[in-house]
């Protein structure tokens, strides 16, 4: 059996991986109130890995487990969690050849997107995974997801933040959770898979990786997200009948510094000049207002339709085909830095880590 990398063959056993356990269903156990994050993970994982055949076990890289954050259901994660994860990786960066983050699935793609911006220029794999069922559930998805994540975390050709889930390797900043129950819960709507499991092989497609395009030199950007954790960036999905007073109730609040709008289709909004006025006045005040589509797939093209024509004049930034996760965490990342508004706007429109 071979572990294929089209760049070079590699020996997973020679890698040393740090597994960061944060909670999520993957490590949950039943309590009287339902599933709850649970500890003692190293021992439980040892026990689970014993179910693999000796050959499969032997092909896994060696790893250590770190669990320094409070164990959470990932619905409790916020920008501080993203910042802590990045700083854990940066602190251990030289000691490990790759990283696996075990994370709840509900906001896993948000953490992945944020890490991609914070760890720009990353020269080794950071793989997030989780599970739809806890580790101890017979024939659940947890063990396979961990196995695949460890394999890809041991592949030195992979040099970016990615998600391994249900046999698929997805670019972290391109992925979304698309199913609340199925094992195949994640998709990358506007970018092809970075790799996949085929039979016993974990295949990486290097031509699609950041290393082949724009990785550049390591230049971790670790701004302090704390000032933005109290509601500075909002997300508004349009609905038929949305009014200007509703939009301005959020956008005109001085605590709001950035907004992600989810428009109709290729970039339309209701034909209400007052809506555009609210957007124009927010961007006139230096707030970053960006727009993507509500459609799970495709891009916005602001100004293609008369119905969306005023958006560019109102200073709204096109989010192109970015996921909500990628666009929102990019706003947080840019607003956390002491950049002039013009530079924040320019960087929003520039692909930084293959997010657009
Ligand atoms: N609620 C869980 C979480 O995000 C869902 C999961 O992990 N499957 O932590």
Residue nearest to atom 3 of ligand 1 (CA): 104
In the residue annotation, 105 being an active-site residue is answered as yes
- 8 A C-beta contact, residue 320 and residue 300: yes
256: region left, alpha or beta (phi > 0 left; psi from -120 to 50 alpha) = beta
Q: Tell me, what's the pLDDT at 215?
A: 64
- Amino acid 328: pLDDT: 98
Tokens of 265: 């289709």
pLDDT at 217: 65
Q: Which among 22, 81, 105, 107 is annotated as catalytic?
A: 105
Answer whether 143's CB lies under 8 Å from 48's CB. yes
Of 169, 151, 153, whose CA–CA distance to 209 is shortest? 169
pLDDT digits 0-9 by tens, 167-187 = 999 999 999 999 999 999 999
Say what the pLDDT of residue 305 is. 82
Nearest 5°: phi and psi at 3? -105, 100
Could you read off the pLDDT of 119-153 as tens digits, one per residue? 999 999 999 999 999 999 999 999 999 999 999 99
Is 107 noted as a catalytic residue in this protein?
no
Residues 15 and 124: their CA atoms lie apart, in Å, by: 11
Q: Is 130 in the pocket of ligand 1 (CB under 6 A)?
A: yes
Q: Which of 22, 24, 185 to mutate to test the pocket of ligand 1 (most atoms within 8 A of CB)?
A: 24
Domains of the chain by start residue, with CATH? 2-213 (3.40.50.1170), 228-348 (3.40.50.40)
Three-state SS for 37? strand
Q: Is the CB of 74 under 6 A from ligand 1?
A: yes
Q: In terms of Cα–Cα distance, which of 120, 121, 85 is closest to 101?
A: 85
Left (φ > 0), alpha (ψ -120 to 50) or beta: where does 131 sit? beta
Q: Which residue has the tokens 């950007």?
A: 221
Neighbours of 200 (CB within 10 A): 12
DSSP string, 47-115: HHHTTS-HHHHHTSPEEEEE--SPPB-GGG--HHHHHHHHHHHHHHGGG-SEEEEE--STTHHHHHHHH
Q: What is d(CA 33, CA 12) in angstroms, rounded to the nearest whole number? A: 40
What are the residues whose beta carbons fall under 8 Å from the beta carbon of 94, sequence distance 6 or more?
none
313's tokens: 């004049």
pTM of the model: 0.95
Question: Which one, of 255, 236, 254, 256, lies nearest residue 246 by Cα?
Answer: 236
Whether residue 285 has its Cβ less than 6 Å from ligand 1: no
DSSP code of 327?
H
Residues 6+ apart with CB under 8 A from 231: 255, 256
The Cβ of residue 75 has, within 10 Å, a number of other Cβ atoms equal to: 9
With CA atoms as reference, report the closest residue to 150 among 58, 246, 258: 58
Query: Do 179 and 105 meet the contact criterion of CB atoms below 8 Å apart?
Result: no
pLDDT in the model for residue 88? 97
How far is ligand 1, taken at its centre, from the CA of residue 102, in Å? Answer: 11
Which residue matches tokens 């969690």? 81
Q: How far apart are CA 171 and CA 209, in angstroms?
A: 8
pLDDT of residue 3: 37
Beta strands in 246-311 (DSSP E): 258-263, 288-293
The answer to whether 332 and 235 have CB atoms below 8 angstroms apart is no
Residue 188 assigned as binding residue:
no
Question: What residues in the chain have per-residue pLDDT under 70?
Answer: 1-9, 212, 214-218
74 carries a ligand binding annotation: yes
């Amino acid at each position: 059996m071979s572990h294929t990398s089209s760049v070079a063959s590699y020996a997973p056993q020679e890698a040393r991986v740090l597994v960061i356990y944060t909670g999520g269903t993957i490590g949950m156990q039943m309590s009287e109130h339902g599933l709850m994050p649970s500890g003692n993970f190293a021992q439980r994982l040892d026990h689970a890995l014993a179910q693999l055949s000796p050959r499969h076990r032997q092909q896994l890289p060696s790893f250590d487990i770190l669990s320094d954050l409070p164990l959470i259901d990932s619905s409790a994660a916020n920008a501080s969690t993203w910042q802590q994860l990045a700083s854990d990786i940066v602190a251990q960066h030289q000691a490990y050849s790759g990283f696996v983050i075990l994370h709840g699935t509900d906001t896993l793609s948000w953490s992945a997107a944020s890490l991609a911006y914070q760890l720009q220029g990353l020269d080794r794999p950071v793989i997030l995974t989780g599970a739809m069922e806890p580790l101890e559930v017979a024939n659940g998805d947890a063990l396979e997801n961990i196995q695949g994540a460890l394999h890809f975390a041991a592949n030195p050709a992979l040099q970016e933040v990615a998600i391994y889930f249900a046999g698929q390797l997805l670019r972290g900043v391109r992925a979304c959770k698309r199913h609340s129950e199925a094992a195949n819960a994640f998709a990358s709507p506007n970018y092809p898979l970075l790799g996949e499991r085929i039979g016993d092989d974990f295949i990486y497609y290097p031509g699609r990786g950041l290393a082949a395009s724009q990785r550049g030199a390591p230049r971790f950007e670790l701004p302090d997200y704390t000032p933005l954790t109290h509601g500075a960036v909002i997300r508004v999905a349009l609905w038929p009948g949305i009014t200007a007073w509703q939009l301005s109730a959020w956008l005109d609040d001085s605590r709001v510094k950035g907004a992600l709008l989810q428009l109709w289709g290729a970039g339309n909004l209701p034909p209400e000049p007052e809506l555009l006025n609210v957007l124009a006045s927010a961007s006139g005040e230096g707030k970053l207002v960006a727009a993507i589509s509500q459609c799970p797939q495709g891009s916005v093209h602001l100004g293609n339709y008369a119905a969306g024509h005023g958006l560019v004049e109102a200073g709204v930034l096109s989010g192109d085909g970015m996921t909500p996760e990628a666009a929102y965490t990019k706003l947080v990342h840019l607003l956390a830095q002491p950049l002039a508004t013009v530079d924040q706007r320019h960087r929003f429109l520039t692909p930084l880590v293959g997010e657009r």
